[in-house]
Structure 1
């Protein structure tokens, strides 16, 4: 919990004001359970502790995260809406919707309690009616977890598809589609000028804005003084000599305000383009350093593996390959060890090395997944929150949305990684979820969504480049 609150305050939302401590605590608890997910998964790989003990931890983690995502997050969202609403009418639309939604959650909770008390058994003769059995099964914790897993698999496939193609375009086609592309997208000539000239042009625009605002302030003072003189004691008996001048002043004020708005937009766009050009210069300087060259080579290798993953996914789609019980990671590690000149003949040592290599590889995947989620998804939510867009979100709503995506993303990633390992590493999860997860369906959905997101990313990048 201390780590989760540190990540929450110092790393994620350090530049956003958090008004609700309740939402902050929910986010910290969710992050703690997500970290516990990966710890339990690494314990499964290393086979630490007994299987029954690990099953208890898995059940506690899965059920707790399920309750948070299905009940606590909607309650936190409705609690924030109820606190921010200004309409206190009893029969307003928001209160009717709130009452209906809370009643629906109460009914779901009652069905969950009934189902937990009377465990549904498909082999037993059903005497309570078909509707009750279907609803009781639909709201059970394994079924809710199944729904969260399928949603998270689709989200993960979309993120990996877009990220893989973007990484390929960024590192492989960097001389053609990278820096030069950003230079061509800059519309203002000041960004192509030297740095001193760009700063001078930006200062001149700011000086013009200050002059226009000073002029507007003088016009408003003149208008207020003329209004006071025209509304004197004799204003009703004599004709107002300033009536024609007041109309001219209003026109001048309107024109001045329009000019100020236009110049402020130009100044903002010029500043944004100046920041982009500064980033381009910093990138060019960094790429000439030894660390930049090493990172560039490493990025190209990762981009090449992303393309291999896309090709392998296409092959698995057309070949309709099934899930291998041996696991993709174990199978590939064993095949790589077989090519070594000092290949181990003892199966015990061979399995032990495969186990440790799988542990390191999965740990690296966990780090990359967490890092990519925090850097990409949270950055997008912050851009929506802090920029002037049509979608208006408060900081508390942003935290709830990110908390939900984080929960289903981590839950689905654990199960996706378990699919690529030996079947004994996912036996505890299968027992807890009552073997309701269809791994073939998960693989089919992930492959098709991943390919669709990759093709969509290629189309978007090509459209932005050539159109």
Structure 2
């Protein structure tokens, strides 16, 4: 009993230490990346974001622990239950309620903020629960209030997000890396656009100076009118003359402001075009370096992967096919059969799966954090309340993304570990999630191809003149 207690305590310390490390990483990412340009942070939002990040990473960690046989089986089972339960409570209860509170806090009086927040959360729960109606994602034997009911619905949203990001990434990676898609930008293109932008800014400054001078002249006339003491006939004459000059100044100010507005819009577009041109020029210069050549080769491999993945997704959808053997075991079997390599398939598949899951975990976390940082910077503004709401929504997406990653990662491990994940996640219709991923991935990839093709053609036309 003492030995069991010591092992149990040691396992608990390992899990607690990793959760603290993940929490600190999420806290630093929130401070240094998402809100690095903000002096005031909402500590509650930061805590919720970091907590979601910690539990999300712990799911990947527990999969690796299952494969590497780290910690006692009973301890791993308890950790799975603990982490899954808390991340689901965070995603379904804590984040939606606090997001609702932030939304209504600036709109209604203080005494009705909490009831209205709870009301909005109940609306969220209703639509969240209705997600499960059209999809055959759960065995009918489960009751209403079970963890499988929540995981199944979170999985649908998360798998959709994963498929959209994966479809776009599979197409965008070759587009970004391959020199074939690099536009022929030269220094004189940048210089021409800089001259246009400088000329536009000079016009804006000139017209704004005129507006300021006319406004000052108009104010001087108004002040002189109030201070001057004259006879009735002098006031009558001055009134007509000042009205004429005042109306002329007002019309000139209005005309100048009407001219300034489109010029400012033009300047914004020219600035964005200039930034894009500089990025293209840097990309052309980078493609000539050793790393640029390496990424170009990598882009060709990504292109092959993109074509293969789109083809496989199409085949899976048409023939209602789901892989029965994980990719690692399948690859080893092909190597043993066709190349005559004497390998212990079950032995090596375990360790290669361990490495593969680790790579998937690291790249998934890194890719999602980079995407979130770019997205947050592009849509956030100086309004702290709106930025806090966006940060909470990103935490919601992040948690659902990682829960669904665990669902889909089940197919990337050998059969014995699939059984363990099935026992942990419950009796879900796992094949449904893989088919759903293939459908959304195919739609996202094809849409991304069309979208990037249009962007590339429209962007290339500016260099043909």
State if a TM-score over 0.5 links the two structures: yes
Counterpart check, 1:158 vs 2:164: yes
Distance 1:150 1:193, change over 3 A: same
- 1:88 is matched with 109
- CA displacement 1:296-339 (0-9 Å, x = unmatched): 10121122112111112222223322441x42332223433555
C-alpha distance 99-369 of structure 1, shift in aligned 2 (>3 A): closer
Of 200, 210, 216 in structure 2, the residue corresponding to residue 205 of structure 1 is 200
Counterpart in the other structure of 2:305? 305
Q: Is the 8 A contact 2:322 2:435 kept in 1?
A: no
**Distance in 2, Cα, partners of 1:449 & 1:102:** 28
Q: 1:65 Cα deviation (Å)?
A: 0.3
**Residue 258 of structure 1: how far off its partner (Å):** 2.1
* 1:337–1:47 Cα change, 3 Å: farther
Q: Does 2:408 align with 1:416?
A: yes
Give deviations 1:199-254, integer Å, cap 9, x for gaps: 44433433332222222111111111111222346589432020011110001111
Matched, 1:357 2:352: yes
Q: Following TM superposition, by how much is the alpha carbon of 1:464 offset from its aligned partner in structure 2, in angstroms?
A: 4.4
Per-residue deviation, residues 338-373 of structure 1 (Å, max 9, x unmatched): 5556523xx4xx433222211222222222222222
Shift in Å, 1:270: 1.8
Is 1:27 the equivalent of 2:14? no
Residues 176-197 of structure 1 show CA distances to partners (whole Å, capped at 9, x for unaligned) of x4425xx6xxxxxxx9835555
> What's the TM-score once normalised by structure 2's chain length?
0.81
1:361-403 CA-partner distances (Å, limit 9, x unpaired): 2222222222222223442343122499xxx981101101100
In 1, Cα distance between the equivalents of 2:447 and 2:210?
Answer: 51
- Highest RCO, 1 vs 2 (Cα 8 Å, sep ≥ 6): 1
Unpaired stretches in structure 1, ≥5 consecutive residues: 108-120, 124-133, 184-190
With normalisation by structure 1, the TM-score equals 0.80
| Pair 1:460 & 2:451 matched | yes
CA distance in 1 between partners of 2:276 and 2:455 (Å): 17
Aligned to 1:117: none
- Give the alignment of 1:165-314 within 5 angstroms: 165-171=171-177, 174-175=179-180, 177-180=181-184, 193=188, 195-196=190-191, 198-232=193-227, 234=229, 237=232, 238-239=235-236, 240=239, 241-314=241-314
Aligned pair in 2 of structure 1 residues 414, 250: CA closer, same or farther (>3 Å)? same
SS of residue matched to 2:70? coil
Change (3 A) 1:250 1:303: same
Q: 1:271: how far off?
A: 1.8
Kindly indicate which of the two structures has a greater share of residues assigned to helix: 2
Aligned residues: 420
Q: CA RMSD in A?
A: 3.2
Equivalent pair of 1:17/1:395 in contact (CA under 8 Å): no
Name the residue aligned to 1:369.
364
SS in structure 1 of the partner of residue 380 of structure 2? helix
Give the C-alpha shift of residue 453 in structure 1.
1.7
User: Is the 1:18–1:24 Cα contact (8 Å) retained in structure 2?
Assistant: no
Which moves more between the two structures, 305-314 or 94-103?
94-103
